[in-house]
Amino acid sequence: MTRIEPNAGAEPAENAPPPAAMPKEEMQARGFRAARQARSEALTEDYVELIADLMATGGEARTVDIARRLGVSHATVVKAIVRLKREELVSSKPYRGIFLTETGRELAERVRARHRLVVKLLLAVGVPPDDAEADAEGIEHHVSANTLAAFSRFLEKQL
C-alpha cells in the first residue's frame, strides 16, 4: 500500500503566500449567521415537505415515521416539531400525528414545486433519476428565484 504523506506536493512553508487578512468580526459573524439561518430554513422545508407527503399517503405524519424517513432520532424530530409549532407551521394532537397548518401547507406546496422543477432540470440534462431525486434535495434549498425561473424557461424551450 502506498502511503501518502500529509501536505504532499504542497509548497514549503517558507515559499507559501502570506495568509489572507481576516475579515472584520462583524462581517464574518454576519456571514456565519446567514449560513446558520439558511441551514435552519432548509431543515424547516424538509420537515414540512415530508409531513405533507406523509399526510397525503397516510392521513397523518407520526414522529416515528418522520424520524425514519429523515434518518434522525425520535428526540431530534420532537425538538424540530416544537420549533415548527412555534413557527405555526404544524399542529399536533395527543396520541395523534403531526398536521400542517394552512401556512405549513402553503410552504410545503412551494417547496414541492421547487423540488419538482429541480428534478425535471436534472433529468433534462441527463442525470439518472435516483441521482436527480437525491441531488434535488440539496439543490432545492440553495437556488434563487431567478435561477428557478431560468430553469423553467430552459425546460419550456426543451418541449
Question: What digits encode the pLDDT tens for the residues 71-118?
Answer: 999 999 999 999 999 999 999 888 889 999 999 999 999 999 999 999
How large is the average pLDDT for residues 146-156?
93
Domain at 30-101, CATH class: mainly alpha
Q: What is the CATH number of domain 105-158?
A: 1.10.60.10
Residue 21's pLDDT is 84
pLDDT digits 0-9 by tens, 25-63: 988 888 888 888 888 899 999 999 999 999 999 888 999
Asked whether the predicted pLDDT for residue 1 surpasses 80, the reply is no
- In the structure, what pLDDT confidence band is assigned to residue 15 with cuts at 50, 70 and 90? confident
Which residue, among 46, 65, 143, has the nearest Cα to 104 in the 3D structure?
A: 46
What is the Cβ-side half-sphere exposure of residue 7, based on CA atoms within 13 angstroms? Answer: 5
150-157 — which CB contacts under 8 Å span 24+ positions? 151/117, 151/118, 151/120, 151/121, 152/117, 154/121, 154/124, 155/117, 155/120, 155/121, 155/124
- Could you tell me the pTM of the whole model? 0.75
| Length of the chain counted residue by residue | 159
Domain ranges of the chain: 30-101, 105-158
Contact (Cβ atoms closer than 8 angstroms) between residue 20 and residue 61: no
CA–CA separation, 34 and 108 (whole Å): 22
